[in-house]
Amino acid sequence: MTRLHKQLLHAGLALMTVATVGAAIPGTTANAATRTVPQSLRNTWFAWGKGDGGANRVKITAKTYTNTLGVYQHGKWRVNSEKHTLKLGKKVKKNKTFTLSKKADKNGYRTLTTSDQYSKYVMKVKRVKVHNKTKLKMVTKFSDNSKRTDMFFPVTKKIINTYMD
């Protein structure tokens, strides 16, 4: 074997070793692309409902957003209408996923976008302090350029034990 052949053989073996070790290392690309909801927005939030619908409960976890209408009866949440649980995704899919902006805007709001069979909903959300109490402020924009602001309180034992009917 000539010297050139030996060098090529060693280079080929080194390349195969690097490729084999690289394939054995678990990939992180799928996990690196996954985002989570910031800790400041995660909680079970509650707002008194309008009309006979009861109350509005929003539960935000690291990867899900749940919105329901109902009442607390005897310490348990009773759903009056449909319960919508959406998973955090890169694109909004009707009744399946929601998106959340990576960064807050200049006013501290993050954009949360959902969609159902009727419409697309764009909400600006942030955690605020009002009279030294923590609340979730949610500004919903509608297609006719109007907007509605809701304040959600964290769910506490006092709210759970309140009989609402």
Residues 89/98, Cβ–Cβ less than 8 Å: yes
* pLDDT at 27 > cutoff 50: no
Report d(CA 162, CA 73) in Å as an integer.
8
Higher-confidence residue of 129 and 7: namely 129
Across the chain, mean pLDDT equals 79
Average pLDDT over residues 40-67: 87
Higher-confidence residue of 132 and 164: namely 132
Query: What are the strands, taking DSSP E only, across 42-119?
Result: 43-48, 55-60, 64-73, 76-79, 84-88, 97-100, 110-115
Percent of the chain with pLDDT strictly greater than 90: 42
pLDDT score of 13:
46
Higher-confidence residue of 74 and 140: namely 140
* pLDDT at 120 > cutoff 90: no
pLDDT score of 26:
45
22 pLDDT tier (thresholds 50, 70, 90)? very low
pLDDT score of 126:
95
pLDDT digits 0-9 by tens, 54-108 = 788 999 999 999 999 888 888 888 888 878 899 999 999 999 999 999 999 999 9
Give the pair of three-digit tokens for residue 111: 């954009």
The residue among 118, 125, 130 whose CA lies nearest residue 147 is 125
